[in-house]
Amino acid sequence: MNETTKPEIYKGLVGVYADVSAVSKVMPETNSLTYRGYAVQDLAENCSFEEVSYLLWEGELPNAQQLAAFKAETAAEREISPALHRVIREFPKDAHPMDAIRTAVSFMGLEDPETADVSQPAQYRKAKRLFAKIPTAIAAAYRASRGLPVVAPNPAHSFAENAFNLILGKVPQPEVLKAFDVSMILYAEHTFNASTYTARLVTSSGADMHGAITAGIASLKGPLHGGANEAVMHTLKEIGDPKLAKEWIQSRFDHKALVMGFGHRVYKTGDSRVPTMRKYAEKMAEVVGDKTWMEISRILAGEMLEKKNIHPNLDFPAGPAYYLMGFEIPLFTPIFVASRITGWSAHVIEQGADNRLIRPLSWYTGPEQRPVPPLSAR
């Protein structure tokens, strides 16, 4: 390369294949997504989140015996330490739950007996511990911020039952649990998105699982990424009434403003996960008896498609689904964390198995080299 000729810059790494991966495959031309070869819709309808988590890590779905062992192993790891409970109680009451879970995961790295061991078996054991403990930490931070007593994990609960019980203090009816489980499955993995790539980048320096996941959480918080599911619900609440939806979105168009929950870097003709999540969000609206949010959503999606030819992404139906399940809005992205820990850690393990330090180049645009002037001359 000629040092004076500016090379092509792939801003945002658009269209760049940075590595190979066997975890999942996005096929934008057919709006489809597979995890280890299985279509996400198929997994969402026919499997539990625990089965899909096992699949992402092990590469194959578990048989009944393997599933029982996996559930027992992870359920036994749900408790977090008294020290972490104490630290969580000291968090500012108005801390965002994403900052709380990021800090809690970092703290778990201080305590984990295998933090420094980045061998593949140790990485996998830590991934399972994080999978088990993250809902407990999210719930502890949330309940402390609201002055509510901590609920202890129940090892007999499924992942979904446990999450509801820890956060909201009760286990909802089966339709709600199923909708939650579906959202967990759909959120679990999505190739080299920003947070997953962040986790792989951290791993590439030889750093440990907890560091990679802490960084992944920091990346996921952004409103262009996971934070969009919260932003969607703020939008729907701001509009408040289906009659006002068209006027609201027109004003966004007039101001050339982003509409959260729409658009995707990879999918340009529709997000493969949306129809399944929308179906379950609509079921939630029926269960709760409140169709307002899905009705506003329907109008926004229609306008976006007609006027901008932009489709909704997964965060668009997931936001109202979580709201209808009874979660407060700042918990939406932490719930995403509780799911994506599986995909992140599967990628961390894959990166570690065939690692090369990730270190791209930058094209310099600053001043030419110059001498440092003495302080008196500045």
264 is catalytic: yes
Which parts of the chain are beta strand (E)? 24-27, 32-35, 38-39
Contact of 348 with 212, CB cutoff 8 Å: yes
Q: What are the CA-CA distances from residue 243 to residues 236, 298, 309 (Å)?
A: 12, 12, 22
234 is catalytic: no
Angle at 102 between CA 257 and CA 17, to 5 degrees: 60
> Contact with ligand COA (CB under 6 A): which of 153, 261, 334, 352?
261
Give which of 229, 257, 224 is closest to 329, Cα–Cα. 229
The residue with tokens 């004003």 is 251
Question: How many C-beta neighbours within 10 Å does residue 336 have?
Answer: 29
85 is catalytic: no
Among the listed ranges 19-27, 174-182, 234-242, 255-263, the one in contact with ligand COA (CB under 6 A) is: 255-263
Q: Of 112, 311, 315, 347, which residue is the catalytic one? A: 315
> Contact with ligand COA (CB under 6 A): which of 74, 198, 272, 313?
313
| Near ligand COA in 148-187, by CB under 6 A | none
Under rule CB under 6 A, how many of the chain's residues touch ligand COA?
A: 16
In the complex with ligand COA, the residue whose CB is nearer, 178 or 265, is 265
The residues pairing with 312 across neighbouring beta strands, listed in sequence order, are 262
Give the contacts of 47 (CB within 8 A, at least 6 positions apart).
Answer: 55, 61, 185
Sign of CA dihedral 203, 58, 132, 126: negative
Q: Which two tokens stand for residue 323?
A: 């709201």
Among the listed ranges 165-173, 233-241, 256-264, 332-340, the one in contact with ligand COA (CB under 6 A) is: 256-264
Q: Which two tokens stand for residue 372?
A: 């440092």
The residue with tokens 């003495």 is 374
In the complex with ligand COA, the residue whose CB is nearer, 163 or 304, is 304
In the complex with ligand COA, the residue whose CB is nearer, 264 or 283, is 264
Show the binding pattern over residues 191-230: x = contacts ligand COA (CB under 6 A), - = does not.
---------------------------------xx--x--
Q: Of 190, 210, 264, 311, which residue is the catalytic one? A: 264
| Near ligand COA in 269-308, by CB under 6 A | 308
> Contact with ligand COA (CB under 6 A): which of 97, 263, 317, 320?
263
Q: Of 190, 210, 225, 311, which residue is the catalytic one? A: 225
The residue with tokens 């109680």 is 89
> CB 90 → ligand COA: shortest distance, Å?
32
In the complex with ligand COA, the residue whose CB is nearer, 167 or 236, is 236
> Contact with ligand COA (CB under 6 A): which of 157, 265, 279, 298?
265
Question: How many C-beta neighbours within 10 Å does residue 182 have?
Answer: 27
- Residue 311 interacts with ligand COA (CB under 6 A): yes or no: no
